[in-house]
Amino acid sequence: MMQVEQGFIPALSLRTNAVQSGAGPKGVEAATADGCCLAIESVHALPEFFVSEEQLRNRLMHELTLVHGIGGTRERMCRRHGIQTLADLRRTNWKSEAQEIAEVIQNGTPREVIRLFREKGRGADPLLIGFGAAVPKESLLFFDIETLGMVHSPIILFGCGVCEGRTLRVTQYLLRDISEEIAALGLVAEMMRAHPALVTYNGRSFDLPFTNSRLAYYGERECRPALHFDLLHPARRLFRDDLPDCCLGTVEEYVLGCGREEDLPGYLVPVYYQKYLRTGDPAPLKQIVDHNRSDVTSLALLLARQTEMVYGA
């Protein structure tokens, strides 16, 4: 860990003093071949969200604007003439492209359908959130990280939520010392392999690239989930006209109705962790853990809410 320490000293001390007894987070030691970290588990009610894959694909077949040359105005004209689905375009000049798109939607894997939408400039389409509700819940991993707030800084806490029946089990891997990061990264990588459908909020730009950057730092292989549902992008499409911004806290308050009254603001996470490193008092860690846990559980709530809004589930 000498390289890491050299990279941040004298900005902060990366090795805590002897940890004092106090109101810190409770967990168990998770041991790996690369060391250990603290694993903190909690169980929460899992909101209902489900869309059958048949329902999802039938809905996507109505997206005539996926065809080049069909915009909003022309789509409305088509519908007035009884053309409702891509299959109905078989007697028009758009027949060939419509058939190709319909084939992907009807028979392609979720990844192939999502790729199709991205190629059409529709990668942020809220309709795609349906795949997050259609895949087996056991494959989902709700994921959020906390860092020291600097580029290439260590990740100090990983929050991972998995579905178990009607509950969401949240496992948080906390670094009691920066040297424990490699162990926590290994545990997270294993979890991503076991649950290949990632659910994040701005994770496509932040959480996943940051995690892969830290894995690369240690010479480890990057994580590449089979599917990644970044709920920020459909949130912008669904809520931006009605909310002051689309920060997760704002969406929680106005859309989910579960604002956080005593939550630690995300920008203070590095400050609290540095205080812990400086004093050895674990009390500041509890607020960081609570903040991260709320982020993870909100992802499940938001996936359910977005599914309800788009598919009426």
pTM of structure: 0.90
Q: Whole-angstrom Cα distance, residue 161 to residue 127?
A: 23
Q: Whole-angstrom Cα distance, residue 283 to residue 285?
A: 5
- Residue ranges of domains in the chain: 2-49+134-311, 63-123
Alpha helices (H) along 169-220: 181-194, 207-217
163: left (phi > 0), else alpha (psi -120 to 50), else beta? Answer: beta
Per-residue confidence (pLDDT) for residue 129, from 0 to 100: 95
For residue 18, the Cα-to-chain-centroid distance in whole angstroms is: 35
DSSP state of 262: S
Angle between helices 283-311 and 53-60 (to 10 degrees): 60
Torsion of CA 138, 246, 129, 111, to 10 degrees: -90
On the CB side of 2, CA atoms within 13 Å amount to 0
Per-residue model confidence as pLDDT tens digits over 177-225: 999 999 999 999 999 999 999 999 999 999 999 999 999 999 999 999 9
Give the amino acid at 151: V
Per-residue confidence (pLDDT) for residue 313, from 0 to 100: 54
Q: Whole-angstrom Cα distance, residue 71 to residue 148?
A: 46
Between the alpha carbon of residue 77 and those of residues 73, 74, 81, 86, 106, the distances in Å are: 6, 5, 7, 14, 24
177 Cβ contact partners less than 8 Å away, ≥ 6 residues apart: 14, 15, 16
Domain covering 2-49+134-311: architecture:
2-Layer Sandwich (3.30)
DSSP state of 159: E
Q: Whole-angstrom Cα distance, residue 303 to residue 231?
A: 7
Per-residue confidence (pLDDT) for residue 138, from 0 to 100: 95
Nearest to 290, CA basis, from 169, 98, 159, 155 = 159
Per-residue confidence (pLDDT) for residue 75, from 0 to 100: 96
| pLDDT less than 70: residues of the chain | 1-23, 313
